[in-house]
Each structure stands twice: as structure tokens, then as C-alpha cells.
Structure 1
Amino acid sequence: MFKRLALAAVLASASAAAFAAPLTYKIDANHTSVVASWSHFGFANPIANFGQVDGFITYDPANVGTSKVEVTLPLAGLDSHVADFDAHLRSADFFDAEKYPTITFKSTKVEAAGDNKLRVFGDLTIKGVTKPVVLDTTINKVGDHPMSKRAAAGFDATTTVKRSDFGVDKYAPNVSDNVTIRITTEAMVPKAGADKK
């Protein structure tokens, strides 16, 4: 009897550990927005959306420190809703997208910051320049997605960066050096057999 109870306890413990294991979610570009905003000579606060987002989020609510994020933003997906301005932003005056076609973010540390809050520290690379940034993050929801029937997670995040740190400083300071970035993302565990790279 004792052996059976001990075995049951071990199996229950193993099952709980497996359930609590971190999950890796693939970002759903169709339900993800990365929006930058800035001041234009103090008159307006334009925005640009970085679409076609690709990447993965690993999140473990039981051990937040093991969580990580890796994201690529193709500049081909940049959209300010003004085609001429998009072309200017992609030009050598700003992002020089022909030479540097992507922006990347790779986390270096994740820590809890209160109820449903995280601070995600990481390296942001723009135009070949890498600088540390911190994303103040809200956990929107973690659970089974009603449509895909797969595990899903959703997050919002904000940060502010200085574009001059990355050599994207044309017209500063009249066009503000500080750029606010707001992110909302939905991500799902990939289908069985899908490429996780």
C-alpha cells in the first residue's frame, strides 16, 4: 500500500511539473501591433505601425525568470498610412532599410512587477546598433484559445527609446528624439510539427 501511495505521489508530482513547464508561443502577426509615436514640431503626434511581426514568447507563470522573448520586425511591414512617408522612413535618412531590413528585440531578463505585470529587459537592434531597453508589460490573458483550441497568451507592453541612440535622429530635436512604442500581441503554441525556429 505504501509503495502504491508513493508511486502515485511521484506520478502526481511529475504531472504537475509537466503542467507547469514553460510554454513557447509563436506570435500571431495578424493580432499583433507595434506602434511608434513621436512629436512632430509640437504640432502633431504621428504614428507608424510595424507589421509582419515574427517571433516567439516563452512564458512560465510559475518561474517568470525563465521566460524570454525574441522578435523580428521587418521594415517591409512599416506602415504610417502615407506611402511617401513610408518610403522616406525606409530611406537612408532614417532606417536605411535596404542595408538594415529588420529591427530585432531579444530579451535578456524577465521579472515579475506586480499583479499581471512584468518587466522585460532586452537588446533592441536598429541599423546595426544594439541598445538595452525595458518593456513594461501587462499580461492580458493566458489560456486555451477558443478558435484554435491551442494554448495562447496575450500581452501589452510599452517603452520609450531615443532614436538618436540608433542613428535615426534626422530633424531632432524638432521632431522628438523620444519615441514611444506601444505593443499588443497575441501568441499561440504552434501546431504539432510546425517549425519553431
Structure 2
Amino acid sequence: MNRASLLFSAASAIIAFSTLSPVSAQTITKASQVQSGTYAVEAGHTQIGFSVLHFGFTNYYGAFSNASGTLELNAQSPASSRLSVTIPVASVQTTSSQLTDELKGPQWFDATKFPNATFVSTSIKMLGQNDATIHGNLTLHGVTKPITLNAHFVGAGINPMDKKYTTGFDATSTFNRSDFGIKTYVPYVSDSVTLRISGAFEKQN
């Protein structure tokens, strides 16, 4: 691409972004004002990270991608809302390609035998305006155990890029991986796992 084409492309991008409405002008910041309905996980902007304490020296991080699932959201009666998410375990990534491959194997997640992890909510309780506890069942490595997500509503509105109504939440949880039969290197690599989720959901018509 020559210099003129590069300049034209840059100018076009600037013009396109300049026509978008400011995010603050269209973003809802109160959970009670979000549109109720059925939402689907927007995989491209949903991030699922985890961390463990490595030999007591550092917190080591990894991530999963390509999540799918649905959120049945009732803004007026949050307790009746329902969340179901599926995560392909083979999507795991770390900063070490060797470790990434190892995590997919039988010593850890055994992704061939147990290809998906799932979370299905059983109850939701609001804690103030934008925070909630989401109790549910996590199925991982072929084992189902209850865990709790501490969720925070981030915002909702029309995505200026694809014009779809989108809502987003952050959530954290901590659990012991040995409860799910994943015991490799415990206690040198911590049994306790911290889960961090940034979830984006698009309203379905």
C-alpha cells in the first residue's frame, strides 16, 4: 500500500469514528434500567481469565476464549434472571506454549475427554444497585460443584459499531481446583484458583 492509500485509510477511519455518538451519551449505568430479554454471549469481547500462585513467588495467569451461552435478564426482578455459559477448555492460553499444551492434557484439564466447562446459575441476589451474587453449578473436568460469582454491572446500550443492544458485567470467583479432580503440583502450584470474567452480552431479537 502506498503513502497516499495509507493516508486515505487513516482519514477514513478518523471520519468513521468521529460520527459515532459519545459512549457516555448512550450508556446506561444502572442495572435496573437495562432492557430485559434474552441475551447471547458476545464471544469476541468476553474474556475469562484465571490465576494461581506459582511456587509462592508469582501469580500466574491464563485465559479462555470463545465462550458461548445465554442470559435471560429480568431487570425488574433480577432474582428470576438465569445465566448459562459454556467454555471450550481447549481454548486455554498462557504465555508459555509448552504449558498451554500441557494444560490441555490428561494431567490437567484433559480437554479431549472433557471438552467443555459450563456454569449454570441457580440463584441471583442483588447487593445494592449494580452488584450481585450469582450462585450456580460449575462443571469442570467432569465434576460439578457449586461456586459463587461476585458480579458487577458495568454498562449497557447500543454498540455504536454493530448497532446491537449490549450489556456487560464483570465477575470474580475463587475455588479449589482439587474439588474438580485437578490436583497436579498442589501445593506448589496453588489449589486455590481465582477466576475473573469480563462478559459482554448482545440482546436477541
Shorter-chain TM range is 0.7 to 0.9
Equivalent position of 1:172 in the other structure: 186
Match of 2:39 among 22, 25, 34: 25
Letter in 2 for 1:82: S
Equivalent position of 2:101 in the other structure: 87
Is residue 62 of structure 2 the alignment partner of residue 48 of structure 1? yes
Is residue 155 of structure 2 the alignment partner of residue 141 of structure 1? yes
Letter in 2 for 1:115: Q
8 Å CA contact retained: 1:37, 1:47: yes
Equivalent position of 1:64 in the other structure: 78
Letter in 1 for 2:124: V
Q: Secondary structure at the match of 1:170?
A: coil
TM-score with structure 1 length normalisation? 0.83
Q: CA deviation at 1:20?
A: 8.6
Is residue 53 of structure 2 the alignment partner of residue 39 of structure 1? yes
8 Å CA contact retained: 1:95, 1:168: yes
8 Å CA contact retained: 2:65, 2:91: yes
The 5 A counterparts of 1:2-17 are none
Equivalent-residue separation in structure 2 for 1:20 and 1:184 (angstroms) = 17
Sequence identity percentage = 36
Equivalent position of 2:29 in the other structure: none
- Measured against aligned partners, the alpha-carbon deviations of 1:4-39 in whole angstroms (never above 9, x if no partner) come to xxxxxxxxxxxxxxx997311111111011100010
Equivalent-residue separation in structure 2 for 1:103 and 1:161 (angstroms) = 14
Equivalent-residue separation in structure 2 for 1:101 and 1:176 (angstroms) = 23
Q: In the superposition, relative to structure 1, how do residues 76 and 20 fare at CA in structure 2: closer, same or farther (>3 Å)? A: closer
8 Å CA contact retained: 2:35, 2:75: no
Aligned length: 173
What value does the CA root-mean-square deviation take over the aligned residues? 1.6
8 Å CA contact retained: 2:34, 2:156: no
Equivalent position of 2:140 in the other structure: 126
Q: Tell me whether 137-146 or 153-162 shows the greater mean CA deviation.
A: 137-146
